[in-house]
């Protein structure tokens, strides 16, 4: 079974995302901040990561930058999932190595479509 790590400081968002991802056949893990996310990746690199941008402490962009430097850190498909919806921000995320980008609010179809485009389904 493929694993997906949901990184978001909102418990509600994590719960909504978990339900969608489980319906898509993922085993889901949750992290409430960047440090937690990186610790999780160091233990067991997930197949996909749904990553918020604005979180207390480390930003999603910083999480992504550090992840890609880790051994095996280029493997997970990383899909940003954030309220940031300016073209420049999306461009920045892609330049940092994000595979896809979701602008909140999202629904199940958008998550499924974006994960498919990222090659994570």
Partner 1 sequence: MTPEDRAMVTALCADRAGLRVDPEKEYLLENRLGPVARREGFVGLGEMLQTLRDRGDERLVWAVVEAMSPSETAFFRDPATFAAVAGPALEDLARRRAGQTLRVWVAACGSGQEVYSLAMLLDEQAPDGVTVDLCASDLSERRLERARSGVYSQFEVQRGLAARRLVRHFEKADETFVVARRIRQMVRWRRVNLMEDLTPFGQFDLIFCRNVLGALVESARTEVLGNLKGCLAEGGYLVLGLGDAASGLTALPGGAGVHQAETRRRAAAA
The footprint of partner 1 (CB under 8 A) covers 85-87, 90-91, 93-94, 98, 100-103, 106, 109-110, 113-114, 117
* Closer CB to partner 1, 40 or 106, in the complex: 106
Q: How far is the CB of 93 from partner 1 (least distance, A)?
A: 8
C-beta closer to partner 1: residue 53 or 106: 106
Shortest spacing between CB 110 and partner 1, in angstroms: 5
Asked if residue 25 lies in contact with residue 53, where contact means CB atoms within 8 angstroms, the answer is no
Mention every residue, 6+ apart, whose C-beta is less than 8 A from residue 30.
Answer: 5, 6, 7, 8, 14, 18
- Least spacing, CB of residue 117 vs partner 1, in Å: 5
Q: Which is nearer to partner 1, 44 or 86 (CB)?
A: 86
Using alpha carbons, list the distances in angstroms from residue 31 to 50, 52, 68, 86, 88: 10, 10, 18, 25, 26
Q: Residue 16 or residue 32: which is nearer to partner 1 going by CB?
A: 16
CA atoms within 13 A on the CB side of 104: 17
């Amino acid at each position: 079974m493929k694993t997906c790590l949901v990184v978001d400081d909102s418990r509600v968002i994590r719960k909504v995302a978990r339900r969608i991802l489980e319906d898509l056949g993922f085993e889901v893990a949750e992290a409430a901040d960047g440090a937690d996310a990186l610790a999780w990746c160091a233990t067991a690199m997930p197949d996909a990561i749904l990553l918020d941008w604005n979180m207390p402490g480390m930003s999603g962009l910083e999480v992504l930058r550090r992840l890609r430097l880790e051994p095996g850190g280029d493997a997970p498909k990383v899909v940003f999932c954030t309220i940031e919806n300016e073209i420049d921000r999306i461009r920045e995320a892609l330049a940092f190595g994000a595979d896809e980008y979701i602008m909140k609010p999202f629904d199940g179809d958008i998550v499924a479509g974006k994960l498919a485009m990222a090659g994570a389904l």
